[in-house]
Amino acid sequence: MSLPTPLINRTRAEAVMAEFGVSALVLADSTNIYQATGFWPQTLVMGHLGSSVAVVPADRSKPVTLITAQFLHYFFDLDDVPPGSPLQILLYTAPDQDGENAMPPTFFRSAQDGAVDSYERATRATTEAQLAAHPAFPSATLALGAVLADLDGAIATDGEVATALLGTGEIYRSASPLLRRIRMIKSTHEIALMRIAAQQNCEAATVAIRSVGPGDRYVDLQNAFFAETGRRGGRPVFMSTDYSSYRQRKGVITEGRAFSIDAVASYAGYHGDYGRTIIVGQPDPALLRAVDAAVLCNETVSAALAPGLRFSDIMRIGREAIAKAGHDIATPSSPHSVGLFHTDEGFKNDGAYFVKDDPLIEENMVLSIDCPMLQTDMGGSVHLEDLWLVTATGCEPLNDTSNPYYRL
């Protein structure tokens, strides 16, 4: 058993919270708790809202706090927290009859004359050790109050559940724009997970592509991708194929028609994003020219991608490259940040809904550069997309880039 550990980039979080004048984030959404603590709260996904909550102080010298029910700590086999850990765990049970003290902890009862279950005893021992260091609170609200008692400044919450848990009736600022800003710069833990997610997503898509041929349906390809993702321990999100109009009206892999895919799956909550063109039989010459343009665009922008540029610079570089080569084809050549979501970047003016911003590219961003060719009447569709980790001096691919397109 390994202790959950914060995945969030604390250095980045401290800077963003300082900019917004926030002393702590109080998070009750399952994805936010997972990023903050490394603990995936299954009960929240089941609908038990408020059963766990995380607190991320702006001061990165203070630990992130996971507040969860004592029985959940025991049931989900969480470790005790060693001194100096970047995470502390506070448990609650329920209030006693007077409502002032916590009820005793709850464990499974032992069967009469049964054999001792050593695994159950291990998780019970870690829970008991946790309670010995930090006695249980009567409620999550009281535990939350204890954590925030010595913090000065505004609190940012991720929704009405976190605000209700605070229980003061005050209005808190939204944590959403802060979290989107923080997520764009990945921590070491997040980069490690992104490497696995990107490569597994690419592998699952590649195996799926090579499993089909003329006469098979796009849904067969999608199902193969989903199955291959599951075999690798990931979770499928979607595989988009060709133009929607062809997919919905026929959706059959056809000799002489090329089609594009956009494959997205997650691993441990972090996403891969992989786009390719699949050429079936002899393609139309116009389509081959579009494939050449996509490859040129992708190669040019990956060679240029580095800290100091903006998203708009990458778009311009890609478009100028294909125009200079004589291709009269439109393409977005557009970056987007990928991580806990397919698109996890900040919105323009830190708004509540998506409007594309033009952020500065920084080290430890993970970016996709979308290079679909927005052209029709060429016997199919063309797309090319990889995931890139921005380094101090440039970028590196997180998935295999050796096949810019496939032939069936």
Encode pLDDT of 8-46 as tens digits: 999 999 999 999 999 999 999 999 999 999 999 999 989
Amino acid at 164: A
Encode pLDDT of 92-118 as tens digits: 999 988 778 999 999 999 999 999 999
pLDDT band at residue 2 under the 50/70/90 scheme:
low
For residues 287 and 312, the answer to whether their CB atoms sit within 8 Å is no
Encode pLDDT of 354-364 as tens digits: 999 999 999 99
Q: Show Cβ contacts of residue 290 under 8 Å, excluding neighbours closer than 6 positions.
A: 327, 329, 373, 375, 378, 382
Kindly report the average pLDDT of the chain as a whole number: 95
pTM of the entire predicted model: 0.95
Closest CA to 270 of 204, 359, 201: 201
Encode pLDDT of 187-212 as tens digits: 999 999 999 999 999 999 999 999 99
Alpha carbons within 13 angstroms on the beta-carbon side of residue 259 total 29
pLDDT at 1 over 50: no
**Phi, psi for 247 (deg, rounded to 5):** -60, -40
Mean pLDDT, to the nearest integer, of 316-342?
97
pLDDT of 82 reads: 83
Q: Show Cβ contacts of residue 326 under 8 Å, excluding neighbours closer than 6 positions.
A: none
**Phi, psi for 388 (deg, rounded to 5):** -125, 135
